[in-house]
Structures are given as C-alpha cells and as structure tokens.
Structure 1
Amino acid sequence: MSSTSEGIKPATLSMDHIWQLGFGFWSSKSLLSAVELGVFTALSDGPLDAEDLRQRLNISERSARDFFDVLVSLRLLERDEGRYANTRETNHFLDRNKSGYIGGILEMCSVRLFGFWASLTEGLRTGKPQSEARSGKTIYDMVYSNPELVEPFVSAMTGYSQGTAIALATKFAWRNYRSFADIGTAQGAIPVRIALTHLHLSGVGFDLPPVRGAFERYVARNGVSDRITFQPGDFFADSMPSADVLIMGHILHNWALDTRKTLLRRAYEVLPQGGALIVYESLIDDDRRTHTVGLLQALNMMIETEHGSNFTGAECQSWMHEAGFRDLQVEHLNGSDWMVVALK
C-alpha cells in the first residue's frame, strides 16, 4: 500500500469538476430516496409508465416525472416509449426481494446518515460527533434496544459487506485452517460466504445477544446451520471465541487507539500458535493521497463516534506487531476494503 509523493504533480480541477463535487449531493440523494421509496422493487415485475409508477410509490404528481428521468440520466433506470424499467444492475442489486440486494445500507444512509453529514462543518469546528453519540449513545445502543430495528440494521450490514465477503472467501489461504470466528458478525454475511465457499470449515459468529435471531435465520436460509453457529458476547467484557482464524471487519475504526490495541492483544491471546487474525477496513493509503473512500470514512467516524477514526495499513500493521503478531501483510479485497493479515 505504500506510495510516494516523488514526481507527483499538483492536481488540476476544471470548473465542471468542482461544480460536480459541490452539487454531488443532488445525485446522491436522488439515488438514496429512490431506494428508500422502493422504486426498483416497484419495477421488479416489469416496466411501468410514469403515472403507474407514481401511484405505485404514492408520491406527488408535481415532480414525479422529473425524478424518474433523473434516475434515467444517472443510468439507474431505462426508459422506452414512456415506460420505465430497471437496468440489469439495479434489478439485481436494488430490488428488495432479490438475494443480491445491497440497498439496506443505502436506506440507512437516506434516513439517518445523510442528515448527520449535513452537520459536517459543525463537527469539523468542534471535533464532536454529530450522530446519536452527541447524547452519549451509539447506533448500537439505539438499534439493539429495539427488536424491530435489529433485522433491518444487520441486513444493511450484509448489503454493505457482500462484495468483501466474496473476496475474503477467495483471497485468504483457508485451506490451511479448520475453524474461524467473525467478531462483530451482524447478520453473518462473512461466515456464511466463507462456509459456502469452503466446505471443510466451521465457524462462529460473535456479536451481542440481540443479533442471535437475525443471524440464525440468515444462516438457515443459506443452508449452513450445521457448520456456522452463533456465540453471544461483548468483546469488551467476554472472551473472544477460540478458533484458528479470527476476523475483525469494520470494528477497529469505531474506537480510540488504546481500545484498538486492547482488542488486538485479546485476539492474540485467544488464537492458537500459527493462528491468523484478519482485520479488514476501508483503509487509507499509506501516503494519505489516493484512497478517497478511506479518507471520507475517517470523516464519517468523526461524525459517528466519540473517539473513532480511520487508519492506514502501515498503522494497523504496527499495532498488530506490538501485540505480538508476525508475518504481517496488506492485501486489497474489494472496492475500498483491504485486509491486514497477521499470524501468531
């Protein structure tokens, strides 16, 4: 992941590019509202004209046609002779009834995160979070105290993690191990994908007790209940599961540095000799120049948490080395996600 600034010329921006960046929230919110309203699910059975689609969505007549045509111009919908249809991609990824649905995380962005990001300037001035953390709570406090919110939330996490789960199941040397545990597993996207790909493996999903029902239903739907089980627990208060491989995905960025180091030490203690720890995150590149999503994730951690932040692969390797790990390496997984792998 290391890069160098030697020979790099200053970036040049056109006025049009600056305009697109400044007004980028127009396009973003159009997509988020479309997912929230269920546009792509409404079109799952076939094309509809503007009026039929408007009525199906129960939205006002005033700007419905403009809204649908914005989605056409963004290549999210197709239009032929006045009838609107999903594209191949939106039909697969944004229809709530499809197994490949990734819109859960976008729905959460629309109804929750978009509003918090509107307060980014205030957060930058104060260094304080702009989410539920302003009142001393976390999103987990809010969600896991309400049974009706648990399944939608963990389903959103599954949509967010699907591509990474596929990559993780194929890019790590799973043939060398027999068992694994996913720490902070949510609905279980990671252990399910690994189990489906490697029939010799058995795994554990470790998370807070309210997650159990959603996890076990998801595992059962995917037919791997005989090899994937749930272990309730709090990784601050309870011992992590014993397994050949531990996985911490999108965990460390939530916490202050001392807490991250504590979690890494606890992982080291529970792993057997020769065991592996996989940490995956939307890492910042070591030169802090090119991984835009990783850098934006750093701002998101400021908005979301009291002490969280994002980090580079080199920083994560240094913490793992301090905890006692060896043979450290960083490898790209999918999209903005990279994994840092270390052995005991």
Structure 2
Amino acid sequence: MTSEVIAPPTAGAGFPNLAVLPPRVRVIMLVTAQWLSHSINVLAEIGVADHLVDGPRTVAEIATATETDPDALYRVLRAAASLGVFAERPDGRFELTPDADCLRSDTPGSLRNFARHVGHACRLQSYASMVDTVRTGDQAFRKVHGMQSFDFYAAHPHLAEVFNGAMTAFSEAAADELSGLGDFGRFGVIADIGGGHGHMLSAVLRAHSGVKGILFDRPEVLAGADPVLERNGVQDRVTRTPGDFFADVPVADAYVLKSVLHDWTDDECVTILGNIRRRIGDNADARVILFEATVPELNTFDFSKLMDIEMLVNLGGRERTEAEWRALFHRSGFELATTTRATPPNWVLEAKPR
C-alpha cells in the first residue's frame, strides 16, 4: 500500500466520505472494505461489546474475557475504533461507542448475530467462488457446500441459531413501523408466512385487538416463538402452524410475508404465491402484503442493490424492481394494488387477487 490512501479527517469519525476522495483512492477503499467488515465480524463473534457494558477495559482484560491473543485483539480493535466502532482512550483502554452498542447482545435490534452470520466462513467461501457465479449464473453457496443455504442451516443447528437470531433482530427492529403502514384491522385472520418467532405478527396484533393470527414456519423455528408471543400478550390469539410454504399454506383473510420472497427464484415465488392464491379462492377482499425491498432504476444508490449480491451468491434469490414485483404477482394470479415506502430499503407491497 502507498500513501495514496488517506485517513479520515478526524480519528474515529467514521468511514471516509468516498465522494471527496480521488477516484483511485476511492476504488482502493472499496476494494479493501472487507478488511474492516472482517474485523467487525470477528469482534462480534467473540462478543467484545458485551464485555464493555460496565465500562472501559484494557486490551489485556478484554483478551482474558474473550480468550484471545492480546496483540492480535488490539490490532483488530484499533482498526475498528479508527472508524467509530469502539473507541481507544488515551490511557489505552477501549470503550463502547454508539456504533459498538449495536453489537451488544442485549441491545434491542442487536446486530451481533447479523455480523456473526455475514462473517461466517461458510458464506465467505461462497464469495471466494463468486466469479463462477457471474460466469455461469449458478449459486456459489450450492456449488461450494453441495446444498442450499436453508438445508445447510438445518444440518448445522448452531449456524441456524445465529441466522434466526439475526433475522429476529431485524424483524424486531422494523415490526412496529411496518405494522403501522398497513390497514390490518379490516382482516379477521392474518397469516404470517415464514414469520419466524412472531415479532411482525405480534406488532400487528397488538395494534388490532380484534384480529387473530396464524404464525406459519418450519417446526424448528416455531419452537422459539412462545416467549415472543407471550411477551407481547398475544399468545392466545395466535395459532402456531408448522409447514412448508412450497407445499401448502393455511387459510386466512390476509397473508403477510416479510423478507421471504427475496430468498427465492421467480419460479419458486410463483409456487409460494400460487399456494396462497389457491387458498384465497374467490375471496375478493383477501390480500397479500409483502415487506420487501424495491430496487430503484439506473444508478441510484440503494442498499437493496447490495442485498441482491448476497441473494445471488448465497441464497439463489433476488431483490426486485417494482416492475418485477408486478410481473411476479401477475404470474401468480394477483395484481399489485399499492406500494408504500418505509425506512430504506423496505417497502410495503399490497396485492389483491385478480
């Protein structure tokens, strides 16, 4: 490396403003961004933030608590702290920052499990084969591991626990906002398809006391739902229904799917939506409500365009434009009725039977 790579103007001020850097330096920063993400993922994996809740600690103390090498740990912490994730004090101790707080296990909407999930070797191995995906269109994860991601998690419960924890944290953080963007009170029964532990469904039911819910997911996922439903006081209004949405779904007046369809190909989505359409039958008032990203056209930056790379490499699904969502609904017997922008990258997409 050369002195071309300039530091942020203020230590710990955050990632440099790429727009003001020369093109060559900007590309260097982008190419080497994995050095930073790997560092943060490792600090999340070993739980550093949890060990700083009670105040600053020396590297030696953190290393003892995390069973790590003090020198190696210091170098990783120093890199993260230079961008505001943790902070190094003049006395050599490290402390939490607002960004580092996001990596605490006990923070609402914690990103610790997400960082652990993204940084796990099984996913990084897929990215090492990404060039083959670009050449062939075949999913790298399946090529590297010999199976789809969700089958891999089923075979490795400890990884499934991390993944489910990451997805639960996202649902928990977004549930109140998203549940307030739909007119759910008009439905008698709402089925949350692939609803995980029920954070989204709980938020909807809390806001609409006359509505009942169905939480539909794989049996091993539903096993963790009771504490969430009980904490939200909706356990008596929710039917837990294990199943496979590729085979069938329960009967309901409305179907909610949060960040589900982006995991799957168009043909697989048509199967899922087709099962819902079959269950709806001639109920013209039934609705499908998606909480998904919608990719903007041309060169506009949107996080959904980066999420789409993860779908391409590790899951085989895709993020979709509004036109692609319309086409997908049409193939499945629905018509896209309304779209509502939520906190990026989320949108609320409501479809009706046609």
Deviation (angstroms), 1:89: 4.6
Deviation (angstroms), 1:99: 3.8
- Other-structure match for 1:273: 284
C-alpha distance 309-96 of structure 1, shift in aligned 2 (>3 A): same
Measure the CA separation in 2 of the matches of 1:281 and 1:134: 28
Measure the CA separation in 1 of the matches of 2:317 and 2:35: 28
C-alpha distance 199-17 of structure 1, shift in aligned 2 (>3 A): farther
Deviation (angstroms), 1:294: 2.0
C-alpha distance 288-265 of structure 1, shift in aligned 2 (>3 A): farther
Tell me which of 217, 230, 238 is aligned to 1:207. Answer: 217
- 1:2-21 equivalent positions in 2, closer than 5 A: 14-21=23-30
- Other-structure match for 2:271: 262
C-alpha distance 291-264 of structure 1, shift in aligned 2 (>3 A): farther
Deviation (angstroms), 1:315: 1.2
- Other-structure match for 1:333: 342
Tell me which of 172, 185, 195 is aligned to 1:175. Answer: 185
C-alpha distance 314-235 of structure 1, shift in aligned 2 (>3 A): same
8 Å CA contact 2:217, 2:241 repeated in 1: yes
- Name stretches of at least 5 consecutive residues in structure 1 with no aligned partner: 1-11
Measure the CA separation in 2 of the matches of 1:223 and 1:77: 37
Amino acid of the residue matched to residue 84 of structure 2? R
Deviation (angstroms), 1:324: 3.6
- Other-structure match for 1:57: 66
Give the 3-state SS of the residue equivalent to 1:281 in structure 2: strand
Measure the CA separation in 1 of the matches of 2:56 and 2:207: 36
- Name stretches of at least 5 consecutive residues in structure 2 with no aligned partner: 1-20
Amino acid of the residue matched to residue 29 of structure 1? H
C-alpha distance 216-139 of structure 1, shift in aligned 2 (>3 A): farther
Measure the CA separation in 1 of the matches of 2:329 and 2:76: 49
C-alpha distance 128-155 of structure 1, shift in aligned 2 (>3 A): same
Amino acid of the residue matched to residue 294 of structure 2? L
C-alpha distance 135-42 of structure 1, shift in aligned 2 (>3 A): closer
Measure the CA separation in 1 of the matches of 2:154 and 2:272: 22
1:343 and 2:352 are equivalent in the alignment: yes
C-alpha distance 250-58 of structure 1, shift in aligned 2 (>3 A): same
Give the 3-state SS of the residue equivalent to 1:48 in structure 2: coil
Amino acid of the residue matched to residue 279 of structure 1? L
1:102 and 2:111 are equivalent in the alignment: yes
Deviation (angstroms), 1:49: 1.8
Measure the CA separation in 1 of the matches of 2:254 and 2:133: 37
C-alpha distance 309-246 of structure 1, shift in aligned 2 (>3 A): same
Give the 3-state SS of the residue equivalent to 1:274 in structure 2: coil
- 1:82-101 equivalent positions in 2, closer than 5 A: 82-91=92-101, 93-101=102-110
Measure the CA separation in 2 of the matches of 1:149 and 1:18: 33
Deviation (angstroms), 1:154: 1.6
1:114 and 2:124 are equivalent in the alignment: yes
Tell me which of 312, 317, 323 is aligned to 2:326. Answer: 317
- Other-structure match for 1:5: none
8 Å CA contact 2:246, 2:275 repeated in 1: no
Tell me which of 285, 295, 303 is aligned to 1:293. Answer: 303
C-alpha distance 326-120 of structure 1, shift in aligned 2 (>3 A): closer
Measure the CA separation in 1 of the matches of 2:271 and 2:22: 43
Deviation (angstroms), 1:233: 0.7
Instruction: Give the % identical residues.
Output: 25
Measure the CA separation in 2 of the matches of 1:114 and 1:179: 41
Measure the CA separation in 1 of the matches of 2:157 and 2:201: 23
C-alpha distance 199-15 of structure 1, shift in aligned 2 (>3 A): farther
Number of equivalences? 329
Give the 3-state SS of the residue equivalent to 1:191 in structure 2: helix
Deviation (angstroms), 1:13: 6.6
C-alpha distance 121-148 of structure 1, shift in aligned 2 (>3 A): closer
Give the 3-state SS of the residue equivalent to 1:131 in structure 2: helix
Measure the CA separation in 2 of the matches of 1:258 and 1:64: 46
Deviation (angstroms), 1:148: 4.8
- Other-structure match for 2:35: 26
Q: Deviations over 1:299-332 (max 9, x none)?
A: 2222124x53332122112222343434622222
- Other-structure match for 2:49: 40
Which is bigger in relative contact order (C-alpha 8 A, separation at least 6)? 1
- Other-structure match for 1:166: 176
Tell me which of 146, 151, 164 is aligned to 1:141. Answer: 151
Measure the CA separation in 1 of the matches of 2:68 and 2:103: 19
